[in-house]
Amino acid sequence: MGLTLQNVDKLVGREIYLKDISLAFERGSRNVILGRTLAGKTSLLRIMAGIDRPTHGKILIDGHDVTGVSVRKRSVAMVYQQFINYPSLNVYKNIASPLKVSGVHKNEIDRRVRETAEMLHIEDLLDRLPAELSGGQQQRIAIARALVKDAQLLLLDEPLVNLDYKLREELRIELQEIFEQREAVVVYTTTEPTEALMLGGNVVLLDEGRILQTGLTHEVYHNPATTKVAEVFSDPPINYLACAIRGQKACLGEVTEFPLTSHLKSLPAAQYLFGVRSNHLSLQRNSAEDTEIHSKVELAEINGSETFIHVQYDNSRLVVQADGVHPHRIGTEISIYVNPSSFFVFDETGVLVSSPARYNLEKRSG
């Protein structure tokens, strides 16, 4: 099936929860809605599910208007942030419940419950009550109950956020494998850029109830349309440097200058904002084109395999993500390096002018 949202608004009192949302999801597609807390992710899922009605606009399934149709009459399954299970039913009955409601034959229920339980590695827990299980196991039951129906629309609202870090990692991998075997439209919300990248597929960037950008997840990551998108889609935070282009030179602040190369060559003289992700700032020179920036260390956070070095340059705070352990003292002056070919260029209003990925694509095709 295909799901379409046309000019959807959701107003609660005088507050705007969602504004002018138009989206189309194809059968079998995997979609991530990425946005910060209160961006409107949950409101959007509830409207897709049919739990809430939009204030304006239409919801279409395979071209048919279903805007007013109750959630009970739709083929939809949803997994919430908080694990929701029936506390008095054992795991087997919890998973079986949606099939029982729709009157599936007992043998068929048994087959599907066991198959789904196996997929989520909870086949040994079928006799237990939810309260006897860990958070990770409880969320697996909730996911199993959503999967067992084989609904045409599968919605997951930050399903891993209340789980341990390691469980998240495992379930993320498993979920991807499960999604691949489904023909349903899968929509998954998250606040985390890494999670969005891992899930791949398509992404919808949502902020304050509005769509910022849509597209293939990896394309959007490499071509953020605005500074806002780049911020929501970067962890560690993206770094910004004010840059003036004068003739064939770029000037970062007063003291750092470099010649214009690659995608920067055709930039007209003006004032810009250059964005660079933390992993593209380095503590050593990696190529002849690298530009050296003299900065002052504000903090070094060591994360076992890598170090996040927070530095200051020209009133900008930057984060360098470097492999290995670099215990720099606070206040030390250090040089950091950046290859100009890794800069995102935004104009003064924050709109993307040029990106390394777009440039490379044009170069290859032309």
Partner 1 sequence: MARIELNEIAHSYIANPKHESDYALKRIHDEWEDGGAYALLGPSGCGKTTLLNVISGLLTPSKGRVLYDGKDVTDLPPEKRNIAQVFQFPVLYDTMSVYNNLAFPLRNRGIQEDEVKKRVLEVAEILDLAPFINRRAAGLGADAKQKISLGRGLVRSDVAAILFDEPLTVIDPHLKWHLRRKLKEVHDQLKLTLIYVTHDQVEALTFADQVMVMYEGEIVQVGTPQELFENPKHKFVGYFIGSPGMNFLSCTLDGNKARVDGAGIELDDDTAALGVKAEGELELGIRPMYLEVYPKAVDGGIPASVKTVEDQGSFKIVTVHLAGHTLRARLPEGQAVPGNEAWLRFPTRWTKLFADGHLVK
Which residues would be at the binding site for partner 1 (CB under 8 A)?
Answer: 36-37, 134-136, 164-167, 169, 191-194, 197-198, 200, 218, 221, 231-232, 235-237, 277-279, 298-299, 301-305, 308, 310, 319, 321, 323, 325, 330
Residue 249 Cβ vs partner 1, minimum distance, rounded to whole Å: 26
Residues 6+ apart with CB under 8 A from 279: 321
- Residue 225 carries which DSSP code? S
345, 213 in Cβ contact below 8 A? no
Question: CB-wise, 166 or 364, nearer to partner 1?
Answer: 166
Residue 237 Cβ vs partner 1, minimum distance, rounded to whole Å: 6
Question: CB-wise, 137 or 256, nearer to partner 1?
Answer: 137
Question: CB-wise, 58 or 222, nearer to partner 1?
Answer: 222
Residue 302 Cβ vs partner 1, minimum distance, rounded to whole Å: 5
Residue 251 Cβ vs partner 1, minimum distance, rounded to whole Å: 27
- Side chain identity, residue 250: A
92 phi-psi bin (left φ>0, alpha ψ -120 to 50, beta other): alpha
| Alpha helix stretches (DSSP H) within the chain | 41-49, 91-101, 106-119, 135-148, 165-180, 193-199, 217-222, 227-232, 356-365
Residue 205 Cβ vs partner 1, minimum distance, rounded to whole Å: 14
Question: CB-wise, 108 or 132, nearer to partner 1?
Answer: 132
Residue 286 Cβ vs partner 1, minimum distance, rounded to whole Å: 10
- Side chain identity, residue 42: T
Question: CB-wise, 26 or 323, nearer to partner 1?
Answer: 323
Q: How far apart are CA 249 and CA 247, in angstroms?
A: 6
Q: How far apart are CA 192 and CA 197, in angstroms?
A: 9
Question: CB-wise, 298 or 314, nearer to partner 1?
Answer: 298
Q: How far apart are CA 26 and CA 38, in angstroms?
A: 26
Instruction: Check the CA dihedral 154-157-159-165 and report its sign.
Output: positive
